């Protein structure tokens, strides 16, 4: 079996090479520093399995370049960067890491909530940039007694709810498959999404990105969010229509936003290169422009898709990836997605 890994850090490569489970595979291994997409296909495309992260884009053109490919294992829970229609035609299987960062991302979510509601970043920047200890414009809100709306109560959403209980917040949630037993245990209420929008002082998103959640928050419903609410997104950028979010922040309908993900985030900072490449028309340039407007807003915090990024979570990702490959080699199919 031949395995190609894309976009690993140096320590990740060493971790894999020294991993007892990986050594047992006896596989021929290729390591590539870059992410994988149609513009970055390596010369050696003979791998039977590839391991990628979310910054790779595996579409038909990429799949066609790998004639022996049988397995894609993504080092992430989300898998919207893989073209499953093209995979199905080639009988290529795909596996993910379903559980590695439910605590990690939930903790980060509350870091963002505290940062945006207590103006922590603004206070830090003021002292750092100007040396001023003025508190003007830095007054925040208490979380105790406020209503937290959680859209999506999977592993991460559940952990967000548990943390919120420690802050003595009122919690309401929306989910296509509500867990009523968990709601009774934790003392929160499931409501229709429109009601969660209308009642939440802080609204946080924890749903996967797919055709059903694309622009879940959009120009038609963003005004239904409670006026003066704070908006948090650590899920995927495409769940939110960026221009609509900009508008709601500009008018003051939303008090602020903290975002770890953005639409077209992979293209931010490379706009000139993007405009020159032949696939530029596949990117949403309006969303990219809206992202730059968000970056300049004083009531918006943006971080670089960093919620998952702890040593523990990354090691759990690699452990599961190795397990996915090992079980596939033995003929056992685990953590498959489609």
> Is 305 one of the catalytic residues?
yes
Q: Measuring CA to CA, which residue among 54, 61, 46 is closest to residue 6? A: 54
Transcribe 28-41 into DSSP letters: EEEEESS--STT--
- Per the DSSP assignment, residues forming a β-bridge with 231 are 203, 257
CA distance 226 to 301: 20
Q: Which one of the listed residues 12, 102, 265, 323 is annotated catalytic? A: 265
Which tokens belong to 219? 């120009």
CA distance 39 to 215: 28
> Is 206 one of the catalytic residues?
no
H or E stretch including 231?
strand 229-233
Q: Which one of the listed residues 75, 236, 241, 264 is annotated catalytic? A: 236
CA distance 275 to 285: 10
Q: How far apart are the first and last CA of the chain?
A: 23
CB under 8 Å to 220, separation ≥6 — which residues?
Answer: none
CB under 8 Å to 297, separation ≥6 — which residues?
Answer: 246, 249
Q: Is the dihedral of CA 311, 312, 317, 320 positive or negative?
A: positive
Q: Which one of the listed residues 75, 119, 155, 305 is annotated catalytic? A: 305
> Is 90 one of the catalytic residues?
no
Residue owning tokens 């990740």: 12
3 state SS of 45: coil
CA distance 231 to 203: 5
CA distance 287 to 238: 10
Q: How many CB atoms lie within 10 A of CB 160?
A: 27
CA distance 251 to 82: 37
Query: Which amino acids are annotated catalytic?
Result: 236, 265, 305
């Amino acid at each position: 079996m031949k395995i190609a890994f894309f976009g690993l850090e140096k320590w990740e490569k060493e971790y894999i090479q020294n991993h007892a489970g990986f050594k047992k595979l006896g596989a021929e291994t290729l390591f590539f520093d870059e992410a994988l997409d149609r513009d970055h296909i390596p010369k050696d495309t003979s791998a039977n399995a590839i391991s990628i992260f979310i910054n790779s884009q595996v579409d038909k053109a990429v799949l066609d370049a790998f004639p022996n490919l049988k397995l894609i294992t993504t080092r992430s829970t989300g898998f919207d960067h893989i073209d499953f229609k093209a995979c199905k035609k080639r009988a290529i299987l795909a596996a993910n890491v379903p559980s590695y960062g439910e605590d990690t991302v939930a903790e980060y979510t509350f870091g963002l909530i505290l940062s945006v509601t207590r103006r922590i970043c603004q206070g830090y920047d003021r002292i750092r940039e100007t040396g001023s200890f003025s508190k003007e414009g830095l007054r925040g809100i208490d979380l105790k007694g406020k209503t937290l709306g959680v859209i999506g109560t999977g592993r991460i959403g559940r952990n967000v709810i548990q943390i919120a209980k420690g802050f003595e917040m009122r919690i309401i949630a929306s989910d296509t498959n509500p867990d009523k037993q968990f709601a009774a245990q934790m003392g929160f209420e499931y409501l229709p999404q429109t009601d969660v929008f209308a009642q939440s002082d802080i609204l946080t998103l924890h749903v996967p990105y797919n055709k059903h959640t694309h622009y879940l928050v959009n120009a038609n419903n963003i005004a239904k969010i409670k006026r003066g609410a704070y908006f948090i997104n650590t899920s995927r950028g495409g769940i939110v229509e960026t221009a609509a979010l900009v508008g709601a922040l500009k008018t003051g309908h939303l008090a602020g936003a903290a975002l770890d993900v953005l639409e077209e985030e992979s293209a931010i900072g490379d706009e000139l290169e993007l405009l020159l490449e032949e696939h530029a028309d596949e990117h949403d340039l309006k969303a990219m422009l809206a992202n730059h407007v968000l970056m300049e807003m004083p009531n918006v915090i943006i971080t670089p898709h960093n919620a998952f990024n702890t040593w523990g979570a990354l090691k759990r990702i690699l452990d599961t990836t190795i397990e996915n490959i090992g079980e596939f080699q033995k003929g056992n199919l685990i953590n498959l997605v489609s």
